[in-house]
A and B are shown apart, each in its own frame.
Chain A
Amino acid sequence: MDSDTIIACATPPGEGGIGILRLSGENAVDWLQLFFKPVARVALLESHRLYLGSFVDNAGVLIDEVMSVVMRAPRSYTREDVVEVHCHGGMVVMRRILDQFVDAGARLARPGEFTLRAFLNGRLDLSRAEAVIDLIRARSDSAGRIAAAQLDGSVSRTIHEFQMQIADLLALIEAHVDFPEEDIEFADQQQLLRDAGAVQGKIDHILNNFDSGRILREGLSVLILGRPNVGKSSLLNVLLGEARAIVTDVPGTTRDTIEENLVLSGVPLRLVDTAGVRDTLDPVEAEGVARAKRKIESADLVLLVIDGSCPVTAEDLLALEACRSAKVLLVRNKADLPESSLDQRFSLFPVVTISTRSGVGIEPLKKSIVRLIGGDQPSGEAMVDVIFSDRRHREALVRCSESISRFVEALSSGLSPEFLALDLREALQALGEITGETTPEHILERIFTRFCIGK
């Protein structure tokens, strides 16, 4: 399989603890030495020994004090050279360290890839095959959901635009190679340089502003859903610890969605309070309900709130129906009032019982939210995927930008188009992780649409 040197975050994220980044592959040790400056001067990092030192960026500026360990092949988990960097687990620091390695050439590991390598390299017993498959599948599914949730994000959309623009460039180049006999005019070098420069400018602009990223900036979306007046807005306020949403006893007060940011156990969240779900004739409120339903599709978690003190109503069922395909945590509010029995249609979900009035159950609720968003995995690996998912976008753009630089250089030195195509193909391949593959068919399609070609 691949022999790339891969990197991933090996510990669940959270404020205050130690965070570990792990690399595996033949370049791992070399790259560590680019950034890690041990306190004690050593000629060689010994295998299986923990060193204290500073981690600097490529300009030599300190990022964090860290401990690093090198585990040389084959005495490592993957039987390849493995490097770990133990840093102060804050997300910002970990992401900056990760970015350094990606800029040096490391590839973000695919779901389950460390374990896959361990298995393929004979480190794990053959009888563990099923377990390895289960891990790969579970983590791929979770990564797939995250990717789907981000498809709508502005970075994803921009990357798709880049793909189109680079594919257009490649089509021009390929037409030049494959159809020398045709009576068509080709773009001149200056035009190609301008087009490539424009794309690269935009990519670099995004890269320069990437450090906050969507997830850290906006958080994972947690949607609060339920029929009117079950206490959704109160729940939002309790979680935030202050009164932000309008709270009244009149059903339907929250007519639009309200969004607030919150950090739980180091995981940045975006709480979204929605209009209550009910059939309504009020056009303003109806619009709110429609928006809520759209939000459900992109939510990382839905808190379905019901009134635990009274039987299920038709509107509760409407809310249930709306979040059928989402990940749901059932929240039974009003524990301060006498409890009514739970309708079995709601018993499929994990449930917490709370009172927004008395504050009962709020801490268990917070724990459940973190656990569910982390994909039920005690290792927290899925949560790492979530938090670092925007790093895949960044990685794709870094590689793409490198390829375009090579293209521009080759073009300026007057190289024949088939060499230029090599660089553009690599640029498209880099984006392919996000956008899907750009096949030769796609390029040919562009050529035939643009040029009148054929005997």
Chain B
Amino acid sequence: MTTYGSEYRVIVVGGGHAGCEAALASARLGCKTLLLNMSLDAVAQMSCNPAIGGLAKGHLVREIDALGGEMGTNIDATGIQFRILNTRKGPAVRASRAQADRRLYAERMRRVVENYPLLDLKHGVVTRLIIKNNQVCGVETQEGIVFLARAVVLTTGTFMRGLMHVGLSHFSGGRAGEPASEGLSDFLRSLGMKVGRLKTGTPARLNRRSIDFSRLEPQYGDDPPQPFSFLTKKLDRPQVPCYITYTNNKTHDLIRSGLDRSPLFSGVIEGVGARYCPSIEDKVVRFPEKDHHQIFLEPEGLTCSEIYPNGVSTSLPSDIQLAFLRSIVGLENVEVMRPGYAIEYDYIDPIQLYPSLETKAVEGLYHAGQINGTSGYEEAGAQGLIAGANAALKTKGEPPLVIGRDQGYVGVLIDDLVNRGTSEPYRMFTSRAEYRLLLREDNADQRLTPMGHAVGLVSELRWRHFEEKMANLRRGEERLREVRVSGADRVSIERLNLGELKNGASLLELLRRPELEIGDLLFLDETLAGLDTEVLELLEVATKYEGYIKRQMEQVERFRRTEGVLIPEGFNYDIVSGFSTEVQEKLKKICPRTLGQAARIPGVTPAAIAVLSVLLRRG
């Protein structure tokens, strides 16, 4: 066993979307950080579809960005199609989505990681952790090299005991063309952690030259494209369309003809898949009445040949894959560059984590991303950032950064994971957020940038930008309140089509009218007219949705009352006679940090919370 010379404060294992954010966050907090990856050439890979964002996921990216993370900037620099979804709905559920140039995305992220101060990227396949007195102090690679550190973040993705399936063939692997990681999950199990098995899948990749796009409906991005990052001013990369096609009855017949060789239906796959991410064979079997399913053909890059057919993820045998694809309009002569596959992998039930993402079993050990049973680049990145930051904060003796359910989707995500655990791949949906109307993309910075700044995650540049924006917002609010249209101002009244306005009205009162938009009022005040579109939108949202926002704020206030009651570490539930055995076991297992968290644990009754509140008050 060789101990590698230099000692790190934090080691991040795995260089995917969680790992990169974790390593960058830790380094940003001034900790010497090592990012170990199984292959130096596979940093920030998009294993599945070449897209970032979408409903709730776009929100997560904006939150990562607001906390100083890299994902937003990275997609802005490498995206090839940007769209805002749900533009006809309210502001809280509008979400950004972008197609990435997969290769450029990964290359740029690697460059950022490699050039980041205090951050080293190295090759290493970690097989075990070095633990002393229940405290992690390093990792050991399969080559026998030991790296020492005071905190470790595991972001293993789909690699732990990864098993890939194409038809009835299966083979060990972590992703197409990359080996699995053996040993680490067994090691974690030996520490007493509960290890589970999940399954996910991906479609075949198609050769662009073999597709007849002339027969397909294109879907273009927005013009002009809107960036993810609060710091990106303008996107100037070339934008390309996706194309839409559909499966048909012939496709479905071909799929059915291969079910006897499907690892999913023949019971070969044990891992649990996500209901919201079914394979095409799953869709055909579960919804036999549907005679077509939609497919988006997404380019994987500006210059690369691969096309990602979104909607037909599959683990059917490759001959069936080719046959059913060729039954689809536009794909009659398609060439498959690599077949779709399903992959099973080990995860660690996240109920074994604190809200800081530190494991309860080992001090200084953090988990983020698919190891926690989540799916999605954005979910991974968000956890990575929090885990990396908290690992660094721990080594500095500072309290962890915990985002509340009322403050961000990041908070909802982690709170759900640690209180409820998960038995299928967990994906974020806006419906999971009870304070959804407050958690908008447009105010992610207002919600989180001050918190990020307080712990040191936010750069000076970002902070100055944020403070300036807030100053403008306040100025705008002031103008809306103070500037009035008098009843005698016939010109303005006519221009706004107001009819009668006896006593005059403030701009704020006018903006409350459903028929008026903030753009209509700009001619009335120069200061207002000089504000950024971003700020004007914030002003408009705050005014138009005042009633609903107020209602949610009241709910948040109730939520915060119990959230503010802390449960001391090591609180002894055994000495209390007031709990049922079931409640007592749950509380002991989760070790909630606040009364509010305790109340969210499934099975903990209001009476138990009342008893707990008495005990906490007694001290």
Interface set of A (CB-CB < 8 Å, partner B)? 1-3, 110-113, 116, 119-120, 126, 129, 132-134, 136-137, 140, 174, 177-183, 415-419, 421-422, 425, 439-440, 443-445, 448, 452-455
Interface set of B (CB-CB < 8 Å, partner A)? 49, 54-56, 85-86, 88-90, 92-93, 274-278, 283, 286-287, 290, 293-294, 310-311, 313, 429-432, 434, 436-437, 548, 551-552, 558, 561-562, 576-578, 602, 605-607, 610-611, 613-615, 617-619
Q: Which residue of A lies closest to B203 (CB)?
A: A455
Contact across chains for B614 and A133 when beta carbons are under 8 A apart: yes
A418 to B93, CA, bound (A): 7
Q: Which of A110, A126, A415, A452 contacts B287 (CB 8 A)?
A: A452
A181 to B615, CA, bound (A): 49
Contact across chains for A178 and B294 when beta carbons are under 8 A apart: no
A133 to B429, CA, bound (A): 39
Contact across chains for B437 and A177 when beta carbons are under 8 A apart: no
Contact across chains for A452 and B614 when beta carbons are under 8 A apart: no
Contact across chains for A140 and B605 when beta carbons are under 8 A apart: yes
Contact across chains for B607 and A110 when beta carbons are under 8 A apart: yes
Would you give the shortest CB distance from B54 to chain A, in whole angstroms? 8
Q: Which of B92, B606, B617 contacts A119 (CB 8 A)?
A: B617
Contact across chains for A177 and B617 when beta carbons are under 8 A apart: no
Q: A116-B614, A119-B614 are in contact. Are A418 and B294 (CB under 8 A)?
A: no
Would you give the shortest CB distance from A24 to chain B, in whole angstroms? 15
Q: Can you list 13 A-B contacts with CB-CB less than 8 angstroms, sorted by A residue number?
A: A110-B606, A129-B614, A133-B577, A136-B610, A174-B429, A177-B55, A180-B86, A422-B552, A444-B429, A452-B286, A452-B290, A454-B277, A455-B311
In order of increasing CB-CB distance, the 6 nearest A-B pairs are A140-B607, A416-B90, A183-B294, A129-B618, A133-B578, A416-B89
Beyond A445-B275, A452-B293, list 5 extra A-B contacts (CB 8 Å).
Answer: A111-B607, A177-B430, A425-B434, A453-B276, A455-B277
Would you give the shortest CB distance from B40 to chain A, in whole angstroms? 30
A422 to B551, CA, bound (A): 10
By a CB distance below 8 angstroms, the chain A residues around B277 are 454-455
Q: Which residue of B lies closest to A129 (CB)?
A: B618
By a CB distance below 8 angstroms, the chain A residues around B294 are 182-183
Q: Which of A110, A140, A178, A455 contacts B55 (CB 8 A)?
A: A178
Q: Which residue of B lies closest to A122 (CB)?
A: B617
Q: A440-B431, A455-B49, A455-B277 are in contact. Are A137 and B89 (CB under 8 A)?
A: no
Q: A120-B613, A129-B618, A454-B276 are in contact. Are A178 and B89 (CB under 8 A)?
A: no
By a CB distance below 8 angstroms, the chain B residues around A439 are 602
Most buried by B among A137, A418, A454: A454
Contact across chains for A418 and B92 when beta carbons are under 8 A apart: yes
A349 to B201, CA, bound (A): 63
Q: A1-B562, A136-B611, A177-B430 are in contact. Are A418 and B437 (CB under 8 A)?
A: yes
Would you give the shortest CB distance from B555 to chain A, in whole angstroms? 9
Contact across chains for B85 and A417 when beta carbons are under 8 A apart: no
A20 to B92, CA, bound (A): 47
Main DSSP-derived SS at the A contact region: helix
Contact across chains for B89 and A448 when beta carbons are under 8 A apart: no
By a CB distance below 8 angstroms, the chain A residues around B576 are 133
Would you give the shortest CB distance from B283 to chain A, in whole angstroms? 5
By a CB distance below 8 angstroms, the chain A residues around B617 are 119-120, 126, 129
A272 to B610, CA, bound (A): 37
A440 to B405, CA, bound (A): 14
Most buried by A among B56, B436, B611, B619: B611
A120 to B612, CA, bound (A): 11
A454 to B614, CA, bound (A): 46
Q: Which residue of A lies closest to B202 (CB)?
A: A455
By a CB distance below 8 angstroms, the chain A residues around B275 are 444-445, 448, 454
Contact across chains for B562 and A136 when beta carbons are under 8 A apart: no
Q: Which residue of A lies closest to B298 (CB)?
A: A455
Contact across chains for A110 and B93 when beta carbons are under 8 A apart: no
Contact across chains for A129 and B615 when beta carbons are under 8 A apart: yes
A229 to B388, CA, bound (A): 77
Contact across chains for B90 and A418 when beta carbons are under 8 A apart: yes
Contact across chains for B310 and A455 when beta carbons are under 8 A apart: yes
Q: Which residue of B lies closest to A406 (CB)?
A: B551
Q: Which residue of B lies closest to A455 (CB)?
A: B310
By a CB distance below 8 angstroms, the chain A residues around B283 are 452, 454
By a CB distance below 8 angstroms, the chain A residues around B286 are 452
Q: Which of A132, A180, A183, A448 contacts B293 (CB 8 A)?
A: A183
By a CB distance below 8 angstroms, the chain B residues around A444 are 275-276, 429, 431
A208 to B93, CA, bound (A): 38
Contact across chains for A454 and B610 when beta carbons are under 8 A apart: no
Contact across chains for A126 and B613 when beta carbons are under 8 A apart: no
Q: Which of B88, B430, B577, B613 contacts A1 (CB 8 A)?
A: B613
Q: A1-B561, A1-B562, A418-B437 are in contact. Are A113 and B610 (CB under 8 A)?
A: yes
A420 to B13, CA, bound (A): 44
A440 to B617, CA, bound (A): 32
Contact across chains for A116 and B610 when beta carbons are under 8 A apart: yes
By a CB distance below 8 angstroms, the chain A residues around B430 are 177-178, 418
By a CB distance below 8 angstroms, the chain B residues around A443 are 431
A417 to B614, CA, bound (A): 40
A116 to B617, CA, bound (A): 11
By a CB distance below 8 angstroms, the chain B residues around A2 are 558, 561
Q: Which of A110, A415, A445, A453 contacts B610 (CB 8 A)?
A: A110
A179 to B427, CA, bound (A): 13
